[in-house]
Structure 1
Amino acid sequence: MDAESLTLPAAVEEPPRQPVPVLAALVPMAGGVVLWLITGSVFSLCFAALGPLMMGASLVDGARTRRRARRHAAERADEGWRRAEQQLRERHRRERREMWRETPDAAAALADQPLRDLHPVDESTPIVVGTGARRSVLRVSGDEGERAREFRERAGQLENAPVVAPLGRGVCIRGPLPVTSAAARALVVQLSLRHSPVQLALSGAGLETLGIAGLPHAGRPRRGAWRVAVVIGDEEAGDAPCQIRLREGGGEVPEGITTVLDVSDPSRGSLRMGTVTSEVRVECLSRPQALVVAAERVEREGAVAQLPDAVALSDLVVGEERTGLSAAIGRTDAADLVLDLVEDGPHAVVTGMTGSGKSELLVTWIASMARAHGPDEVSFVLADFKGGTAFDPLQGLPHVAAVITDLDEEGARRGVESLTAELRRREGLLAEMAVRSVAESDGRVGRLVIVVDEFAALVQEHPDLAVVFTDIAARGRALGMHLILGTQRAAGVIRDALAANCPLRVSLRVTDAADSRTVIGSDEAAELPGGAHSRGLAYVRRPQDTHPVAVRIALTGASDLRGIAASSDQAATRTSPWLPPLPRMLDLRDPTVRHDGAGAVLGLRDEPALQRQTPVLLMPGTDRGIAIIGGSGSGRSSALRLLAAQCPSALTIADDPEQAWDAITALDDGGPASSLILCDDLDRLIATFPAEHGTAFVDRLERVIRSAGDRGCTVAVTTAKVNGQIARIVDALPLRALLRTGTKMEHLAAGGDGDGFLRDRPPGRARIGADEVQLAWIADDTPRSPSTDPTAQPWAPTAGVVGVVAPGVRRVVEALRTAVLDAEVTPIAELAGEVAGASVIHPSSIRRVLVGDPDSWQRHWSLWQAIRASGEMLVLAECAAELRTLAGSRELPPYAHPHRGRAWSIVDGSPPRRVLLPQVAPR
């Protein structure tokens, strides 16, 4: 209680006496004598008289100072004691209040309803046998004087506190019968207020005599409850382990009872516990008071107390009338409880904390409806968002059309969205029948019950789906669609628009009284006892009920479900209210993607909100194009193979950068284009180009895409990532198919939303716009042909003198001497004896090929200029940087592979031309 100790003020100490100032008095006396001896004047001796006077004055001043210090110390001590007394009263008042709250008697429990814990009642359970003095837990430190000792004695004794004894084997009350009866009533009422009927059971003939037989604890004892017998005189206590026995006068105390209360009048008594005897004030309760308390207890928890401990579904009677969706779900204190989701609903809310039996209630309700109504009358869609196993026992019932769980996030979203399509489908059916509701359809349209276990989790994971349930709640009655929404808490989860259409309410035990009031209009569900015995206890409130009805929910066993399934074998099993999910692999020959019109099939689109799956087509020559984005193994290359198989005239941009460069250059220059242009792994292709060529390639491809509509062609590209220059190409294409990506960041960069990233998305599963699409697949049976170099032409000299720029001059010279037999191949380093430019360029019948590295040509600049003017320049692809500095070419040359025998040839100032020199390629 009080962790801090109370500190007493220190005792008043006597101020010290001031010492006599002898030295100060001798100095004036000695000075006066010396002056008399020097001056001979008798008046000098008057100065000597000052010494005794100063000493006397000092002593008087010291005495006055001591009196003042003594008075101030006493005042401080008195103030400290006043504070200590005030703290003592406050600490005792707080300690006393906490004691009464922890162990209240009948009056305290009635004034402030005690909190009931889940601990079972046993011999150690405390019982308040009266009011008296108890040892206080307050600790006092400080002074040790007489006053402090008296203060400690008062601090250690707490008056008007509850005197508590362990229940043990019971209590014996002796004295006049009217007084002992009043005291016994108070003890019994105290126990009944502090403990529920699940924890405590009352028995004995004395209950009726004392007028407390009406307490809910006095009914049929609950399994596991601690039994207390109330007996008078020598009556038998039965097999109760504890008793409250009344004896008139000083009768003998039964064996085992160690708490004896002797009362002579209603205000005083003597308590004996073992060898200790103390005086206490005994609480007494009159018979009319006990009757009022018993009636109030019965009203508050009596119905729950009279419920059976357990009920099986097979114990409930199936009603003869099967109108609506009537089903018995449990038993009250008087009869089976039957709920009709049509008449009492059309929708219901079920609340209950973890461990209260909410899942068992939903299973029983579904099983009971299935037992009373065939699959042609009712079908169920079950949504489990608390682990995925709550409805496993029900999956064998033919009534169950579909089960969705939070383990399949995409399937759950798809299932809930499909319910909107089911609403429209039912509206269409009723319109065709020319009826206003399912009730008027003569059974041609069955009812659909959607059961959600943990509705709060569903709304938290998919907040946009809450509007679907609100729509069903508003229109479901006429269409035969009903909701049963289970949740741990209703406040803040079941919105007003939804709650207004859910008049049928069931609440198991909840922790917050506000939740209980929200659901059933009272606090009773929050006051249900805890523990295993309270599992399955619930309050039901229907629109016609003036107050909630207590019910014990029946338990459904495997044999019950097998019997229901067997009795429904002859009935047609209900089909799912939505189409099956998209296949994980879709063959192009599958009938679901067949179409009669033009166009190439991309895949199958899932539209759960419209309850249909339709082929997705790409119209070559009409659509501008599509970007297919996905990581490794996502199926992006298979998608292009699919399009190429359906459009044999498609132009595929090769993955070789030289061929890709030539193809895009031809398209950009206005060359003939196919109706379908395909480019696979665009990001990898661009990465193989140098930066300048990569930028030019993207620019040309973008121009082709933007002019595709005018040229009657369609462009389809694939890429693993969308960043940098690739984003321009993707943005230029009107369609975007987003497959599985490697990371969520790549998914977001590609334009996907945060909820759409699924690490286990199957290959070929794409998101096109807001729709889920499974791309079709075709086998890769294209024959592999050996690679060729159709974009490079073998080189042959076209002028009398050729200047070759190459690294490794000696190796290139040797290679050209074997490749060009009709020419003289010379390193320019060997031309030192010749006139630079003149003799070399002079017309001759012998062709000359001069080879040098960039530095050598810089030193023979005049010779190089002469070759530029009338000869041929040949720059190997390894010297791409020198193409502009030496050849003076400002136009970007066609891309050429370095170190693979490629070079650029320039004649008469024409644009660079890529040529093939396989002899100079490194071995």
Structure 2
Amino acid sequence: MLNPEPRRIAAPRPPGSSQPFRFPVIASIAPLVAALVLWFITGSPFALLFAFLGPVTALASFADSTFGSRKVLKRERARFAQDLASTVSAIHAAHAAEVSDLAEAGPGAEAIASRDGADPDRWIATAASPILVRAGMGSVPSMLRLDSPSRAAPTPVDSDLDRIEAIASILDTAPVLVDARFGIGICGSRVLALAVARAIVLQLAWALSPADYWVAVAGHAESWLGLLPHRRLRETRQGFLAEFGANPDDRVAALVAVAREDRELPGDCRIVIRVGYDNGAEIIRHPDRRQRRVVSPALVSKESALSWAARVAREATRDGLVSLGLDVPAFVPLATLLPATLLPATARHESSSTLAADFAVDAAGPVTIDLVTHGPHAVVAGTTGSGKSELLISWVLALAARHAPTDVTFLLLDFKGGSAFESLAALPHSVGIITDLDAREAARALASLGAELKYRERALARAGARDIADLPADGSLSLPRLVIVADEFAAMLGEHPDLHPLFTDIASRGRSLGVHLILCTQRPAGIVRDGVLANADLRISLRVNNASDSSAVLGTTAAAELAAGEVGRGLVGFAGERPRTVQFAMAGAGDARDIAERWKDAATPRRPWCDPLPATLTQHDLPAGDLDSGRVPFGLADLPHEQRHAVVHWDPAVDGHVLVLGMARSGKSTALAALARGGVLVPADVPGAWDAIAALDHARDEVVAIDDVDSLLARFPAEHKDAVIERLMRLLRDGPQRGLVLVLAAQRLTADIHSLAALAAGRLMLKHASKSEFVLAGADGAGFDSTLPPGGGSWRGARVQVLGDPLPLRSPDTRPSVHPSADKPWAIVSSRVSAVGRQLRGAGLEVLHLATLAPGEWESTIGPGQAIVGDADDWQSRWGLLPTLRPVAEVMYDRCTVADFRALTRSRELPPPLGALENTVWLEAEDGAGRATIPGGVA
């Protein structure tokens, strides 16, 4: 403690001066008188010789006096120099003692933070006396007093005496102590100001006992204060960082504020310290103007303050000054618990064999939870609004901040379907975020996670290890631990009970394979089976609604007794230990971003879980494929059992024909084009399709696409339909021999295409309207999926997504419709004699109706520009007329049946279908019937 009484030291006595020389007049005259008397008495001249003894004596006396004075002065000066050195040493010793007293009264934050073990000087200050804290190091007036001799006249050593008086009056580098009861404000650069403020608040927390004083803090900006054993009653007033007050009268004893400008500080701050960017500081305001000075302040980081606060909290609990459970902070930001500063990780990162993380705090400080040591699996319970999702997010972020992506990865399952885990997607550790599992996604989960277990088993076998902990530490085999975090686990299992055996398997084998489960649920009782609970030694429970849920997780009803509204308050139970009350940290908006930035240069971990196939797929999303070999890449296949997506190919020469089945807007036309890849597309109209298919009889090395073949066949007339089906079957059977391969698409498997489907080896099943249609198409009903996007389907048992931007298909070379020769007369068989007659007259032709002509009449009148029109019966009644006309006229059939055509031509030839073509007729020709266009007009 400080000694209020000043210490006194005598200043050295200045060197004494010698007595001034006095001429020996009597001694000089006496020999002369004696010589004169002797000479007078004796008359001898020798007696006069005694007269010279006087001057000789005077000169000897002068010489003796001069020599003696110099000797005395030298001795005095030596004595003064020795006394001066002794005095300076005494001053330094006194100053050292004085600095030691100041350091003992205000030891400073660095010394306090470095103390370990018992500290008898801690928590002994009271507000009844000055609460001294160290503002920094600087020049301080000394309590030392120098007793200097009075100086009536100047002396040669005055400068030396002045110098030691100046030395004695100032402590050059000493603790600058201020009384915190005046209120301390720090202004300037916020980073430096906060570092200085932490040093001062830490000293106050060291000086004031938690048994007698409370602390109020400003929100969560410096929430390490929440770890202090001093119980918090409320937040500080506006503008203050921390306030310390006495129990029980609530009187404020000391306060600290931080601002950028001194004018922004509260008026209660009578002491103001201004800090600068050069780490210097100055006390610019103090009730005692003599105390305003430049100081070198101490800077304390948030991490150092956090570590010290946690340690003294444990010691206060140990000493009985606070009670465990009552002093758990009500809110803990995750940032205060993250390791050191989140600087960019170096490329050479030391691998960790644990999954330790700090994301919870009890009354004694941070609680380290390690999935490897305390797990290997964890069950988390908590009712709605208790903070379950926030807990999971903080846990994942705390792990990611402490462990590299090469050490741990996360697979996140959120059955609530919300965006709780959205912020975690930025972490390089995240290998998958899955929301709202449907039946198909549940199957993917089974396949992917089962494959992951097998992959890890093979990896351990290759390394000759039985446990992931036995893998070589040199990083030659990278196998990060996988943490599977499942929110709303009970709801997920209720919808998909098939997942339970998988999680039970992971629970039993996960420890050795490095797979860990964190299963979170509202109602654990009766949901989480014993096979999982037996391997989940780590139990966490926030507030639950009933005692049975609490007992199911912790073996105690304490979690049901937690107060409502305390978000993040819960209990942690380690195997063999009594559950302890903790406050789980809450992540801030930028925590995930900061942690992701730390690992931005880390290697991307292998993903054990591949995302579902995209709803749309373009050429840029997959390799172009080996086109030279004929293999056509037409989409991606989902292979969860292999933990990957794969490009799907179709090789026409090897795989043969393909049938694409799917309802309207299922993407079958696009799939058809993706498979045919620039091949020939058969027209959708009946005449064009007939011609294109007929032309294929002589085609070679071609991929032919026919879209909506079921609808196309249904539009053909009966005679033509049978002929087309027969031709298609012939192409399907014989086409591959000459490199001709068909890709057919249909909405459903109708009777018309059953025979065709049987000859198509490949089948791409797109979305169907109903499960019954899907099964009737020859597929397994278990593979029916009503949620498929356009282009989504199954191919050879795998879920695929077909390219949405295929190359366009080519139009085939079709037989064009001709015009009847105008140089010949026309003979027309028509089922609409009157109408076609008017049409031809409108086009300028002379029309002769066969029924009105007398036998032989036409022979004298028929010629170019004339047309004889009659129905089938008229022409048959004159059976010899058509054979006569054929050599000289164009013979055409308009709207006739195939039977009429065959009867009149006396041929089994099937004319091409006309479909809905306007003004088109059958025209007899030497190479068979074809289509011709007659002039249009007013019908």
Q: TM-score, normalised by structure 1?
A: 0.55
Q: Which runs of 5+ in 2 are unaligned?
A: 1-228, 235-246, 251-322, 341-349
Q: Partners of 1:882 and 1:816 in 2: how far apart?
A: 28
What is the aligned counterpart of 2:728 among 684, 695, 701?
Answer: 701
Partner of 2:420: 390
Q: Partners of 2:538 and 2:494 in 1: how far apart?
A: 24
The residue type equivalent to 2:576 in the other structure is Q
Partner of 1:593: 625
Partner of 1:918: 934
**Is the counterpart of residue 901 in structure 1 residue 919 in structure 2?**
yes
Partners of 2:488 and 2:522 within 8 A in 1: yes
Deviation at 1:389, TM superposition (A): 1.7
Partner of 1:538: 570
What is the aligned counterpart of 2:716 among 664, 689, 708?
Answer: 689
Q: Partners of 1:331 and 1:800 in 2: how far apart?
A: 107
Q: Partners of 2:923 and 2:661 in 1: how far apart?
A: 39
Deviation at 1:882, TM superposition (A): 6.9
- The CA deviation string for residues 3-62 of structure 1, in whole angstroms up to 9 with x for no partner, is xxxxxxxxxxxxxxxxxxxxxxxxxxxxxxxxxxxxxxxxxxxxxxxxxxxxxxxxxxxx
Deviation at 1:341, TM superposition (A): 1.0
* Residues 317 and 885 of structure 1, relative CA distance in 2, 3 Å threshold: closer
Deviation at 1:339, TM superposition (A): 2.4
Q: 352-361 or 705-714: which moved more?
A: 705-714
**Is the counterpart of residue 602 in structure 1 residue 623 in structure 2?**
no
Q: Partners of 1:723 and 1:806 in 2: how far apart?
A: 33
Partner of 1:557: 588
Q: Partners of 2:737 and 2:601 in 1: how far apart?
A: 63
SS in 2 for 1:366: helix
Partners of 2:655 and 2:762 within 8 A in 1: no
- The CA deviation string for residues 546-598 of structure 1, in whole angstroms up to 9 with x for no partner, is x5444332333346556645655665454644556656433279536347744
Larger of the two Rg values belongs to structure: 2
**Which structure 2 residues correspond to residues 416-431 of structure 1 after superposition, within 5 A?**
417-431=447-461
Q: 743-752 or 441-450: which moved more?
A: 743-752
Partner of 2:693: 664
- The CA deviation string for residues 695-727 of structure 1, in whole angstroms up to 9 with x for no partner, is 653464356435666776432023456656456
Partner of 1:309: 330
Q: Partners of 2:639 and 2:646 in 1: how far apart?
A: 8
- The CA deviation string for residues 119-162 of structure 1, in whole angstroms up to 9 with x for no partner, is xxxxxxxxxxxxxxxxxxxxxxxxxxxxxxxxxxxxxxxxxxxx
SS in 1 for 2:637: strand
SS in 2 for 1:361: helix
Q: Partners of 1:395 and 1:674 in 2: how far apart?
A: 49
* Residues 869 and 491 of structure 1, relative CA distance in 2, 3 Å threshold: farther
SS in 2 for 1:557: coil
The residue type equivalent to 1:852 in the other structure is G
Partner of 1:189: none
* Residues 695 and 476 of structure 1, relative CA distance in 2, 3 Å threshold: farther
Partner of 2:155: none
**Is the counterpart of residue 828 in structure 1 residue 845 in structure 2?**
no
Q: Which runs of 5+ in 1 are unaligned?
A: 1-218, 225-236, 241-301
* Residues 631 and 491 of structure 1, relative CA distance in 2, 3 Å threshold: same
Q: Partners of 2:862 and 2:627 in 1: how far apart?
A: 70
Q: Partners of 1:568 and 1:818 in 2: how far apart?
A: 83
**Is the counterpart of residue 346 in structure 1 residue 373 in structure 2?**
no
Partners of 2:411 and 2:482 within 8 A in 1: yes
Partner of 1:807: 832
- The CA deviation string for residues 225-256 of structure 1, in whole angstroms up to 9 with x for no partner, is xxxxxxxxxxxx9999xxxxxxxxxxxxxxxx
Partners of 1:593 and 1:604 within 8 A in 2: no
The residue type equivalent to 2:703 in the other structure is L
What is the aligned counterpart of 1:453 among 474, 479, 487?
Answer: 487
Q: Partners of 1:840 and 1:544 in 2: how far apart?
A: 121
SS in 2 for 1:767: strand
* Residues 353 and 708 of structure 1, relative CA distance in 2, 3 Å threshold: farther
Q: Partners of 1:788 and 1:815 in 2: how far apart?
A: 31
- The CA deviation string for residues 880-913 of structure 1, in whole angstroms up to 9 with x for no partner, is 3873797598876431234533334679xx9983
Partner of 2:518: 484
Q: Partners of 2:232 and 2:653 in 1: how far apart?
A: 81
SS in 1 for 2:512: helix
**Which structure 2 residues correspond to residues 840-851 of structure 1 after superposition, within 5 A?**
850-851=868-869
What is the aligned counterpart of 1:612 among 630, 644, 663?
Answer: 644
* Residues 677 and 322 of structure 1, relative CA distance in 2, 3 Å threshold: closer
Partners of 1:828 and 1:851 within 8 A in 2: yes
Deviation at 1:863, TM superposition (A): 1.6
- The CA deviation string for residues 280-338 of structure 1, in whole angstroms up to 9 with x for no partner, is xxxxxxxxxxxxxxxxxxxxxx9866754344445659699975212234244656433
- The CA deviation string for residues 823-843 of structure 1, in whole angstroms up to 9 with x for no partner, is x96312313xx35xxx57999
**Is the counterpart of residue 878 in structure 1 residue 895 in structure 2?**
yes
Deviation at 1:431, TM superposition (A): 3.2
* Residues 806 and 695 of structure 1, relative CA distance in 2, 3 Å threshold: same
* Residues 606 and 565 of structure 1, relative CA distance in 2, 3 Å threshold: closer
Deviation at 1:920, TM superposition (A): 5.8
Deviation at 1:517, TM superposition (A): 3.9
**Is the counterpart of residue 358 in structure 1 residue 358 in structure 2?**
no
Q: Partners of 1:565 and 1:613 in 2: how far apart?
A: 26
Equivalent pairs: percent with the same residue? 34
Q: Partners of 1:565 and 1:590 in 2: how far apart?
A: 28
The residue type equivalent to 2:693 in the other structure is I
Q: Partners of 2:752 and 2:563 in 1: how far apart?
A: 64
Q: Partners of 1:768 and 1:731 in 2: how far apart?
A: 17
Q: 483-492 or 797-806: which moved more?
A: 797-806
Q: Partners of 2:902 and 2:599 in 1: how far apart?
A: 89
Partners of 1:695 and 1:725 within 8 A in 2: no
Partner of 2:156: none
Q: Partners of 1:804 and 1:602 in 2: how far apart?
A: 51
The residue type equivalent to 1:341 in the other structure is L
Q: Partners of 1:801 and 1:595 in 2: how far apart?
A: 54
Partners of 2:677 and 2:806 within 8 A in 1: no
The residue type equivalent to 1:878 in the other structure is R
SS in 1 for 2:396: helix
Partner of 1:440: 470
Q: Partners of 2:526 and 2:880 in 1: how far apart?
A: 89
Partners of 1:622 and 1:709 within 8 A in 2: no
**Which structure 2 residues correspond to residues 711-860 of structure 1 after superposition, within 5 A?**
713-720=740-747, 725=752, 729-730=756-757, 733-739=760-766, 757=785, 761=789, 764-776=791-803, 790=815, 792=817, 804-809=829-834, 811-812=836-837, 815=840, 826-831=848-853, 834=854, 839=856, 850-853=868-871, 857=873, 860=874
- The CA deviation string for residues 87-112 of structure 1, in whole angstroms up to 9 with x for no partner, is xxxxxxxxxxxxxxxxxxxxxxxxxx
SS in 2 for 1:591: coil
The residue type equivalent to 1:324 in the other structure is T
SS in 1 for 2:742: strand
Deviation at 1:610, TM superposition (A): 1.0
C-alpha RMSD over aligned residues = 5.1
* Residues 691 and 469 of structure 1, relative CA distance in 2, 3 Å threshold: farther
* Residues 871 and 585 of structure 1, relative CA distance in 2, 3 Å threshold: same
Partner of 1:625: 657
Partner of 1:863: 877
Deviation at 1:359, TM superposition (A): 0.7
Partners of 2:680 and 2:810 within 8 A in 1: no
Q: Partners of 1:399 and 1:389 in 2: how far apart?
A: 18
* Residues 776 and 364 of structure 1, relative CA distance in 2, 3 Å threshold: closer
Partners of 1:628 and 1:736 within 8 A in 2: yes
SS in 2 for 1:532: coil
